[in-house]
Chain A
Amino acid sequence: MNSRKMEIAVGLFVSLAVAAFLMLALKVADQGMQGSGETYELFAKFDNIGGLKARSAVKVGGVIIGRVDSISLDKDDFTPVVKLVVSQEYGDFPDTSSVSILTSGLLGEQYVGFQPGFSFDGVDTLKPGDFIEDTKSALVLEDLIGQFLFSRNDE
């Protein structure tokens, strides 16, 4: 085989590998959607975060607007602080918005459900770095069962 044909074959091979990598990066890992655009940070304190993890989604009515960046524990009052990174495209949420930790499906993973509040005069918008005051914790199965048994005993 002459060297010209060989070079073409190697060139095709390398392009195939690059195409495979691009397919994995864009189609499988979906990096293109994520890295684009500017983001801002919001914080929320929960009593219990359940199974929430870094990189979990933040959704408004099912639409992903951001991700959980990191989870840490407040050193003063020992409650979990969740740092949310929200796309700049979805800004200007009113100050009265609330967040809750929800589960997608019966066995699915947990995500942060963001509920925009009503905006009327005198309500500020959430600015980068603000804490969201109104939070609902994750449902923990044992707590639920405990409450259920407790209410049964009352009857």
Chain B
Amino acid sequence: MEFFARTGRNTIDGITRIGRASVMFWGAIVARPRPMKSIPLTIKQMYVVGVQSLLIILVSGLFIGMVMGLQGYTVLVNYGAEESLGPMVALSLLRELGPVVTALLFAGRAGSALTAEIGLMKATEQLSSLEMMAVDPLRQVIAPRLWAGILTMPMLALIFSAIGILGGHLVGVDWLGVDAGSYWSIMQSAVDLNEDIMNGVIKSVVFAIVVTWIAVFNGYDSIPTSEGISKATTQTVVHSSLAVLGLDFVLTAVMFGTE
């Protein structure tokens, strides 16, 4: 009996959480948007969420591109096909690694910070005092953070892919001696703007919505104690990483599965 009771409780809890998250998302994003007033707040959050994540994105993008150049070369050179290094690096970055790794890094770097910040605002009753002053915390606090995450993550993913392709060039062409002309020209004939780049952007927009939503909601819904905030922060990283990896499979199957 206890088992069934627990299952039922967890199910009801989960569904009410999804409901609360949807209500929060609706109130912050969809209902009554005030673009003129929220633009300065959004720019501040874009600085916190986007610009400050730039370093980790640049460094990891460069190194992932370099590692792919190195590993791809050692395999491809066996078949005399090292010229195909360009499309290999470019397609895997644009279709998969760019959006996915950016989303995972973003969840760890910016998502956890968002959760902790909003959770502490709740614990110190700043959100309640905003409501006391007739300021809607959904619009003043939550909406700018959601918009900033949704806008910046696709940009970070594009930067990640671009720097990764340059990293692959650095190792493959400058170090291992693949011909620079064929690195670029075979890449150009293999990569399509709509098929590859745009689908990667769509992917990262979906990931951006999911990760930022999870991060902001976990903070907004956290138990206002130090333990509750730490739990919410952990949940943000775990849930958003799982959601990104799961959604990535679904999106890949829809976009590239039927070729």
A and B part of one assembly: yes
Residues of chain A touching chain B, judged by Cβ–Cβ distance below 8 Å, are 1, 3, 6-7, 9-10, 12-14, 16-17, 19-21, 23-25, 27-31, 55, 57, 107
13 A-B contacts, Cβ less than 8 Å apart?
A: A9-B47, A13-B51, A13-B54, A17-B155, A20-B155, A20-B163, A23-B162, A28-B94, A28-B188, A29-B188, A29-B193, A31-B193, A57-B189
- Is there an interface contact between B191 and A14, defined as CB atoms closer than 8 Å? no
Which of A7, A20, A24, A30 has most chain B Cβ within 10 Å? A24
* B75 in contact (CB, < 8 A): no
B158 and A20 within 8 A (CB): yes
Give B147-164 as 1s and 0s: 1 = Cβ < 8 Å from A's Cβ atoms: 000001011101101110
| Residue B187 is within 8 A (CB to CB) of chain A in the complex | yes
Of A9, A23, A27, A107, which contacts B51 at CB under 8 A? A9
Q: How would you classify the secondary structure of chain A's contact residues: helix, strand, loop or mixed?
A: helix
Q: Which of chain A's residues have a CB closer than 8 A to the CB of B196?
A: 29
Q: A13-B51, A20-B162, A24-B161 are in contact. Are A55 and B184 (CB under 8 A)?
A: no
B40 contacts which chain A residues (CB < 8 A)? 3
Asked whether B229 is an interface residue with its Cβ less than 8 Å from the other chain, the reply is no
Q: Which residue of B lies closest to A1 (CB)?
A: B47
Q: Within 8 Å CB of A14, what residues of B?
A: 155
B184-210, CB under 8 A of A: which get 1 and which 0?
A: 100111011100110000000000000
Interface residues of B in 35-64 (CB under 8 A from A): 40, 43-44, 46-47, 50-51, 54
Task: Report the bound CA distance from A27 to B181 in whole Å.
Answer: 12
B90: shortest Cβ distance to chain A, in Å? 5
Contact of B161 among A3, A6, A20, A31 (CB under 8 A): A20
In the complex formed, the residue of A with least CB distance to B79 is A107
Bound complex: CA of A80 vs CA of B35, how far in Å? 55
Tell me the bound Cα distance from A19 to B155 in angstroms.
10
Q: A27-B184, A29-B188 are in contact. List 11 more A-B contacts (CB 8 A).
A: A7-B43, A9-B51, A10-B46, A13-B51, A16-B159, A19-B162, A24-B162, A24-B197, A28-B165, A29-B193, A29-B196
Interface string of B135-173 (1 = CB under 8 A from A): 000000000000000001011101101110100000000
Chain A residue numbers with a CB within 8 Å of B90 are 28
How many angstroms from the CA of A16 to the CA of B90 in the assembled complex? Answer: 19
Which residue of the partner chain B has the closest CB to A27?
B184
Q: A20-B158, A20-B162, A21-B158 are in contact. Are A28 and B187 (CB under 8 A)?
A: yes
Q: Do A29 and B197 have beta carbons less than 8 Å apart?
A: yes
B158, A10: Cβ atoms under 8 Å? no
Question: In the complex, which of the residues A1, A17, A27, A28 contacts B159, with contact meaning CB atoms closer than 8 Å?
Answer: A17
| Interface pair B162/A10, CB less than 8 Å apart | no
Q: Which residue from chain A places its CB closest to the CB of B201 in the assembled complex?
A: A21
Does residue B81 face the partner (Cβ distance < 8 Å to A)? Answer: yes
Most buried by B among A19, A27, A28: A28
Chain A residues with CB below 8 A from B184, complex form = 27
Q: A21-B158, A24-B94, A107-B79 are in contact. Are A13 and B46 (CB under 8 A)?
A: yes
Residues on the A chain within 8 Å of B46, using CB: 10, 13
CA–CA, A30 to B187, complex, Å?
A: 9
